[in-house]
């Protein structure tokens, strides 16, 4: 009867260990395991339990769990397997360390060797306590979009406490602990400390690389808009330089009675004038030019536009941040609307103030369904190394104002909504 209860307990604890480890890696790396891979993990837990009941050493059971989680992550995320292996190693060693520490701690507290004896029921008490703490940690992680700095600090504290716990156990005399085993856990706890340091340094490096790419993307946007403005004004300068010639041509058409040709000639002349004409949308010259130029581009592509703006003045929202947000959203909308069927070639821009919130909504039709990976939209452009950063640039700018970005698409209509919090700025 006792063996039956032990087998069930081992099975449950091993399954929890495997599934929580897979959850940790999936959460950190941003992928969603398939159902069949979860079933494979469950089978791995059964195998680990059978080997454990057959007397396989703990290190052997850990190896089985490592192989199962590694196989699942390799299938889902092959291009980042090295980082996945690092996380799996960190997880398995950390859980093993705390299993050992709590078993020994309970043994010292109750002055009983049964808590470190694998053949005694008390041996499972420390393991179940660790699994309970792991389950609480997993619930906390579920409420987070992504592991943050606070999570890393908490893990660092746990590893440091584990190292001190292992060192303390090496000095106690109540339990007959194996010195080699205690020494091994002390060394592994030191390795875990260096592992966390390495992970944080690697995360900082990736963040710096992403910021560099965002700056490059923003520089490209500024350069592109500058070149468009320069070309528009150059065309306008040519128009006024040749104005007397155009007037003479129109005069000759009219004197000869060719009214249709004069009308066509005037229509051709209106094109550069329309390009440079600028409606006052917001009162901010940079934003007004940006919106006007994008609407003009939409008109050239036979994309129907609708603009509805209620813009608050004297706020702490910087013009450069709004330009980044609107520029990227409108660029993405124009790119998608070009591929849409004729009845869906539209672009709607709405800017609204609701109390101390600024709502920016861009709607457009599209032809091809947007591509997603791990819940994130991917660029459809061929040069993926230099594209796909638009929404990241928007998010970076929105974060300065506690902003949020929401995207949605259905029935061939794509919608992007950015919400910004602002503070009124008093003018003298």
Q: Give the three-state DSSP class for 404.
A: strand
Q: What percent of the residues of the chain are helix, what percent strand, and what percent coil, each to the nearest 5?
A: 65, 10, 20
pLDDT of 388:
41
pLDDT of 385:
34
**Which parts of the chain sit beneath pLDDT 70?**
1-4, 28-34, 36-37, 56-60, 73-74, 76-81, 83, 144-151, 214-215, 217-246, 269-280, 369-390, 426-428
pLDDT of 383:
39
Across the strands, what pairs with 354? 357
If you search the block for the tokens 């006052």, which residue do you land on? 280
* Half-sphere exposure (Cβ direction) of 29: Cα atoms closer than 13 Å: 25
pLDDT of 278:
53
Q: How far apart, in whole angstroms, are the C-alpha atoms of residue 80 and residue 84?
A: 6
Q: Which CATH class is domain 278-428?
A: alpha beta
pLDDT of 77:
64
Domain with CATH 3.30.565.10 in the chain: 278-428
Structure tokens at 416: 């992007």
> CB of 376 within 8 A of CB of 392?
no
Q: Give the sign of the dihedral formed by CA 301, CA 306, CA 310, CA 316.
A: negative
pLDDT of 183:
86
């Amino acid at each position: 009867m006792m063996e039956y209860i032990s087998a069930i307990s081992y099975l449950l604890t091993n399954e929890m260990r495997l599934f929580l480890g897979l959850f940790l890696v999936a959460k950190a790396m941003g992928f969603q395991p398939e159902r069949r891979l979860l079933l494979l993990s469950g089978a791995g837990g059964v195998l680990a339990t059978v080997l454990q009941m057959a007397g396989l050493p703990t290190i052997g059971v850990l190896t089985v769990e490592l192989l199962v989680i590694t196989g699942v992550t390799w299938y889902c995320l092959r291009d980042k397997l090295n980082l996945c292996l690092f996380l799996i190693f960190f997880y398995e060693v950390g859980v093993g360390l705390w299993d050992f520490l709590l078993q020994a701690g309970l043994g010292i507290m109750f002055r009983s060797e049964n808590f470190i004896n694998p053949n005694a029921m008390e041996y499972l008490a420390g393991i179940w306590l660790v699994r309970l703490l792991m389950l609480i940690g997993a619930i906390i992680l579920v409420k987070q979009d992504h592991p943050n700095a606070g999570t890393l600090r908490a893990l660092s504290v746990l590893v440091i406490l584990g190292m001190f716990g292992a060192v303390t156990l090496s000095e106690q005399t109540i339990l007959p602990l194996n010195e080699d085993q205690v020494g091994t856990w002390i060394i592994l706890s030191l390795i875990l400390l260096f592992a966390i340091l390495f992970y944080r340094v690697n995360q900082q490096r990736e963040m710096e690389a992403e910021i560099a790419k965002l700056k490059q993307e923003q520089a490209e946007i500024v350069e592109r808009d500058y070149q468009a403005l320069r070309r528009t004004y150059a065309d306008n300068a040519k128009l006024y330089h040749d104005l007397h010639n155009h007037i003479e041509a129109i005069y000759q058409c009219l004197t000869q009675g060719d009214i249709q040709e004069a009308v066509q000639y005037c229509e051709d002349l209106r094109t550069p004038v329309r390009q440079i004409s600028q409606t006052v949308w917001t009162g901010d010259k940079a934003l007004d030019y940006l919106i006007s130029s994008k609407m003009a581009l939409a008109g050239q592509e036979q994309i129907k536009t609708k603009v509805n703006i209620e813009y608050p003045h004297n706020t702490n929202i910087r013009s450069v941040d709004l330009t980044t947000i609107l520029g990227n959203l409108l660029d993405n909308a124009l790119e998608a609307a070009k591929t849409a069927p004729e009845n869906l070639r539209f672009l709607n821009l709405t800017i609204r103030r609701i109390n101390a919130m600024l709502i920016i909504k861009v709607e457009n039709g599209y032809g091809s369904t947007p591509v997603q990976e791990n819940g994130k939209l991917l660029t459809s452009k061929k040069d993926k190394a230099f594209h796909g950063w638009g929404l990241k640039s928007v998010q970076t700018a929105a974060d300065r104002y506690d902003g949020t970005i929401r995207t949605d698409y259905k029935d061939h209509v794509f919608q992007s909504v950015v919400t910004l919090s602002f503070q009124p700025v008093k003018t003298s």
